Amino acid sequence: MTDQDRRPRVVLGVGGGIAAYKACEVLRQLTESGHSVLVVPTEAALRFVGAATFEALSGQPVHTGVFDDVPEVPHVRIGKDADLVLVVPATANLLAKAAHGIADDLLTNTLLTARCPIMMAPAMHTEMWEHPATRDNVATLRARGVVVTEPASGRLTGADTGKGRLADPFELVDLARLLLRRPDALPRDLAGLRVVVSAGGTREPLDPVRYLGNRSSGKQGYALARTAAQRGAHVTLVSAHTVALPAPAGAEVVRVGTALELRDAMHAVAPGADIVVMAAAVADFRPTDRVDYKIKKTDRDPDPVALTRNPDVLAELVNVRKPGQILVGFAAETGDNGADVLEHARAKLKRKGCDLLVVNAVGEGKAFEMEDNAGWLLSSDGAERSIELGSKAYMASEIWDAVVSLIHN
């Protein structure tokens, strides 16, 4: 067996829409992260991006028809050998063909023969996405276990704007890697539920240039919002200083800066939510006095900065929550001379009164600003379990599984 064979095998189907050019970025990210990717475009897709581009990026030949390499029986072999079939973009035409079992080219044959997870990322004009025929086709595919992702909202072809834009390539690759690790990670078990997630780190201004803050990147909160939307939830993401991260497809984003702004936003949206997740790293203190000019550096020692304690947003939300609402908190902990990480976390869970507490051991090279994460899930009923190291999307899927279990129980 060669190194090529040992790598996860992904079939990247490319539909004939203008978003086909974004499939090149998906392809690049997958190959650079160690995946073997075979591109299977439609004939229409090759009118947007040439076969040479896909071959150069993947290192593998590109075919579209079932009569290419006939002795290899590609229309059966490709789907059977794949670990994941990812279609980017999935046009309205491709969704319709897949839903009705039409197999008139290599890609649609592959969709019928694949026995691995299939993920289709739609991209089309809003009117096409919202058409009853498309909605029925999407529902049919999802009922069969196909992951049809939510499209993003934004600029479409020409001057049009609306829902139907292809989700960001980074997001699609993140979800694809999640499915390769956990094929059951994106069920539609949050459909009909309203979810609020906070993410990022607040900044407390001292002057127009300086602030007190923390190292939170917001990646875990965004992964929670992203996976919740793909599991069917209506998601509101309250985001503090995460401009470098693409907005999760299917989520409404409310941007805030300071702890007080985050507090106001959470109190505004949480009452309508079934589930609230406080993943943001809220600064514990803020400067008591903020000046409107840059404080100059002088030869004398600087004046001490007086601090005021910020409100405990999670505890406030617990105190005012509606009956049946589930609250999830986060704890970034380090051990010290008095207790270890889990002992501190257990005490925090008792103080906060939330239903679940996600615990991360933080420090150099751990949790903050990292692509992967690990930790523990503590429940108010005393149950505890660890979450092994994996992508932040993987941790998010484990957290949502625990939340769904609470709902069912």
Active site residues: 214
Sign of the CA dihedral running 113, 114, 120, 123:
negative
HSE toward the beta carbon, residue 277, CA cutoff 13 A: 27
Q: What does DSSP say about strands 275-278 and 194-200: parallel, antiparallel, or unpaired? A: parallel
For 64-121, the DSSP string reads -STTTTGGG-HHHHHHHH-SEEEEEEE-HHHHHHHHHT---SHHHHHHHH--S-EEEE
Q: Rounded CA gap, 16 and 46, in Å?
A: 7
Residue 167 burial class via C-beta count within 10 angstroms: exposed 0-12, middle 13-18, buried 19 and up:
buried
Cα dihedral angle (180, 135, 20, 117), rounded to 10 degrees? Answer: 20
Q: Rounded CA gap, 343 and 347, in Å?
A: 6
Provide the 3-class DSSP secondary structure of residue 382.
coil
Q: Rounded CA gap, 277 and 270, in Å?
A: 10
Q: Rounded CA gap, 387 and 365, in Å?
A: 17
Is the CB of residue 66 less than 8 Å from the CB of residue 105?
Answer: yes
Where helices occur in 237-290 by DSSP H, the ranges are 259-269
What are the φ/ψ torsions at residue 329 (nearest 5 degrees)?
A: -110, 165
What are the φ/ψ torsions at residue 157 (nearest 5 degrees)?
A: -60, 140
The 10 Å CB-count burial string (b at 16+, else e) for 128-148 is: bbeeeebeebbebbbeeebbb
Residue whose C-alpha is closest to residue 88's, from 151, 162, 161: 151
Q: Which residue has the tokens 């189907």?
A: 13
